Amino acid sequence: MTSLHEQTVTELVELIRTRTVTCRQVVEAHLARMESLNTPIRAVTLVLGEQALAMADAADKTPTDAHLRGIPFTIKEDLDCVGSPTTRGLRFLANALPYVDAPSVQRLKAAGAIPIGRTNTSEMGLRLDTDNPLRGRTRNPWNGALTVGGSSGGDAAAVATGMVPLGLGGDLGGSLRAPAGACGVTTLKPTTGRIAYASSLEPQDFGMAGQLMLAVGPITRSAADLALVFPVLAGRDIRDPRSVDAPLKGPTPDEKRAALVTSLPGGALPADIRAAVERAGKILEESGWAVEEADPPELERVNEVWHKIVATDFSAQLQLLRPVLSPPLYDHMARVCGTAGLDGVSNLRLHSERSRLMRAWSGFMAEYPVVIGPNWAAPLWPVDSDLDPKRGLELLKETTRFMLPGNALGLPCVALPMGVANGLPTGIQVYADLWREDLCLEVARLIEVAVGFKMPMEPVF
């Protein structure tokens, strides 16, 4: 049998269900993998070993039909997990202990899953790199000199290397999809409000950027795993006024049509990234889909609206954050706010524009129910390049050209690896209209099976 740390969530669920292995054996295998790999990678910030083994023993003594019984998972340090601090990568929150689990953590536990560790993030989740003064840097297991992505880089690196089969993070500006792409794993950024978010620590309420654009989601090694975990996580929680109970499956499209996005405003895509998108389109065509190259509406304007919403929130509180952010990150956020062009832009105009763009994209997706495009729209860059005072903002803009619509417009999206080029993973994104995660997952699974890319991997450093 393949080593337990190499198994997917789906495979482990079946092994535990049939009593081929015990929950304790599964947890022990992942703890051993963590012990052997985590020191150089620094993905896991706090190992919950004793607690996880106790939960595994309890699950073995009283077997149930819980959906995810015995499955270990990690939790990014900006989501509450009782008994461990929610640091958000900040020194002054090093001992900030929540008194209630985040809704997503609650749901996984209720389904039988077992928290096995906390994972690293950037300070306040504000970077596409994973480093902070409290926990240090998470290294990309494919190349330690390059960014691991962020801000859910700890979970992505842990899942990619087999320390855990399932991670839990959040995404306000690519924070699930960027590290998934950098590490060669898969993730679902759901429709905003599909998976509830709430904190038992202050601040319990966020500005408009968080309310409109933050989404919690799973990181795994297969689209099949995402489809298995997604129904567990989805649904209303009274602590999150944005959250809703919505059908998990919508009507079958009248036509299986997909838009293929092979070019973006702001410069040509790197050849390996474009090739990954084109390969996904060919797979869909061979599966009976009508695939056409098409340009989604006003992509530059969508990205601009995202920038303005984020800058509006942060410019109002930037001075308050100065004592808690590292100086390089504070300076970076000051540049983000200063370049957003907020003068003369009222909230009425900004949010009216967002609504108009959402309507335009829903119209586009009525014609093309699925949209396939790049994840990273630029090559992986060296660590800390995003903080460069001269080049950093332009580099981030180039990188996230096709990530930000998911946040700005609240759309669901699956980030899917497509293989390896030049020693690094390549990947795509599968978008669908609001509340149509089922289409994203269906198409991602179809492409995944044809590609046959397998993880986990052994770190190369």
* Mean pLDDT value of segment 264-273: 96
* Least confident span in 97-101, 162-166, 317-321: 317-321
Residues whose CB is less than 8 angstroms from the CB of residue 308 and which lie 6 or more positions away in sequence, other chains included: 340, 341, 342, 345, 350
Of 104, 175, 199, 243, which residue is the catalytic one?
175
Class of the domain covering 4-299+345-451: alpha beta
Confidence of residue 40 (pLDDT cuts 50, 70, 90): very high
Q: Work out the pLDDT band at 274, boundaries 50, 70, 90.
A: very high
**Is 84 noted as a catalytic residue in this protein?**
no
pLDDT of residue 1: 65
Query: What is the pLDDT, as a whole number, of residue 417?
Result: 98
Instruction: Report yes or no: 411 and 171 within 8 Å, Cβ to Cβ.
Output: no
For the cut 70, the answer to whether the pLDDT of residue 117 exceeds it is yes
What's the pLDDT at 273?
Answer: 98
Active site residue 76: yes
Percent of the chain with pLDDT over 70: 100
pLDDT in tens, 206-238: 899 999 999 999 999 999 999 999 999 999 999
Per-residue pLDDT tens over the stretch 403-432:
999 999 999 999 999 999 999 999 999 999
Greatest pairwise CA separation for the chain in angstroms: 65
Integer Cα distance of 130 and 140 in angstroms: 9
**Mean pLDDT for the stretch of residues 75-89:** 98
In the chain, % helix, strand, coil (3-state, to 5) comes to: 40, 15, 45
Known catalytic residue at 122: no
CB-based contact 395:381 (threshold 8 Å): yes
pTM more than 0.75: yes
Mean pLDDT, the chain, rounded, equals 97
Residue entry with tokens 């994209």: 361
| DSSP state letters, 323-354 | TTS-HHHHHHHHHHHHTS--TT--HHHHHHHH
Candidates 84, 122, 151, 152; catalytic one:
151
